[in-house]
Every structure is written in C-alpha cells, then in structure tokens.
Amino acid sequence: AEYIMKSNFIFLIFIFTFFLVSCSSVNVNNDHNKSFDFTKLSTYKILKELPKLPDGSQMPSLTYNLIASAVDLEMSKRGIGKNELLANFGIDWHTSLDEKVYKNVNSLTNWESNFSDDEAGMLIIDIVDLESGNVIWRGWAKEVLTSQNLEEKISDSVSKILSQYPPENILGLNY
C-alpha cells in the first residue's frame, strides 16, 4: 500500500509539473524570405522609436525598454553586434495588429494566416534589410503583453522568438 501511495504521489507531482510547464510555455512562430542570404547580416540597430509627447520629447515606455533590453541580450548571445552607424539590418517590433504590421511584408508569404482579428497581447519582431527596407524575417508570440508578469513574459517571449533567428536554412536552399 505504501508503494502505491508513493507512486500515486510521484504521478501527481509529474502531472502538476507538466501542467505548470505547459501553461507557461510561449508558442512562437516565424516566417522569412527564403531567397535572402542571412549570412551577410552581422550588425543591427533598433528601428523602433519611442512615441513622442505633444512637445516632441520621447514618452517613457516600460514595454519599449523591456523589449529593447531583451532584444539586445538575445542578439549579444548570438554574437551579433549592435551598431547604430554601421548596421546592416534593423530590428523593429509591433505589439498589436494594426495597419503598419501588414505593410512591407511582400517577401513573407503565409504569416498572416496565423492571426485572427481579436489577438490579444501579441508581440511581433521584424528583421529588416536596411538596403531594401523589406522585412526579411518575422517572429511572433501571442498573449505576451498581459498585465501579469510583464517583464518575465517579454523576456521569455523575445528569447524564444529570436531563438528561431537566423532561419535554419539561411541561404534559402533546398526549398
């Protein structure tokens, strides 16, 4: 009887742990221009600008700062340097589905099919070729920007989104 109780207890702990892990995991996706040579990208700059106040000064933004810090950390982990003057690609992000998100994605084919009109708290990260101005890679996660654990969710989501960059097949071969 003691053996059965121990095994049931272990099983319950396993189920509880599995439930916690599955609830906290962030589901991320990405799409990219399959003909773009990602090997030539080595330095980036952040393209996203802070919103402006009526007097022209920048409005402080916790979300902006959290995302920018997480992007910088993930890029440095990959050995990709930040250089405002000599960057050869840019990083931008969007936090809602608005018209700007759908612009300038002619090089990406199927990413829109992953969304509905009522997405809440989405974070979309774009890699932009500065030469052409085109989005060449896009990664996204849903339900990131909620009121609970914002810093942790942003950090985790940015990490998981950018873990998919660069695409495995960076030369666009074998498609």
More confident residue, 122 or 68: 68
**Average pLDDT of the residues in 11-36:** 63
For the chain, give the percent of residues with pLDDT over 70: 66
pLDDT for 53: 77
pLDDT digits (tens, 9 = 90+) for 50-79: 877 788 777 778 889 999 999 999 999 999
Higher-confidence position of 119 and 133:
133
38-51 pLDDT per residue, tens: 999 999 999 998 87
Q: How far apart are CA 36 and CA 174, in angstroms?
A: 13
Count of other CB atoms within 10 angstroms of residue 67:
24
pLDDT above 70 for 118: no
**Backbone φ, ψ for residue 78 (5° rounding):** -95, 5
Q: Report the mean per-residue pLDDT for the chain.
A: 77
C-alpha to C-alpha distance for 144 and 152, rounded to whole angstroms: 9
Model pLDDT, residue 80 = 95
Which range is least confidently modeled, 22-36, 73-87, 106-120? 106-120
**What is the rounded distance in angstroms from the CA atom of residue 174 to the CA atom of residue 93?**
29
Inform me whether the pLDDT recorded for 36 exceeds 60.
Answer: yes
- The CA distance from 98 to 117, in Å, is 10
- Residue 140 pLDDT > 70, yes or no? yes
Would you say residue 134 has pLDDT above 70? yes
> What is the rounded average pLDDT of the residues 14-26?
48
Confidence of residue 14 (pLDDT cuts 50, 70, 90): very low
H or E segment at 153?
A: helix 150-162
CB-based burial, 12-38: b 16+ in 10 Å, e otherwise: eeeeeeeeeeeeeebebebbbbbebeb
Highest mean pLDDT among 2-6, 126-130, 148-152: 126-130
The radius of gyration of the chain's CA atoms, rounded to the nearest angstrom, is 20
**CB contact set of 6 (below 8 Å; sequence gap of 6+):** none
Q: Which residues contact 148 (CB under 8 A, 6 or more apart)?
A: none
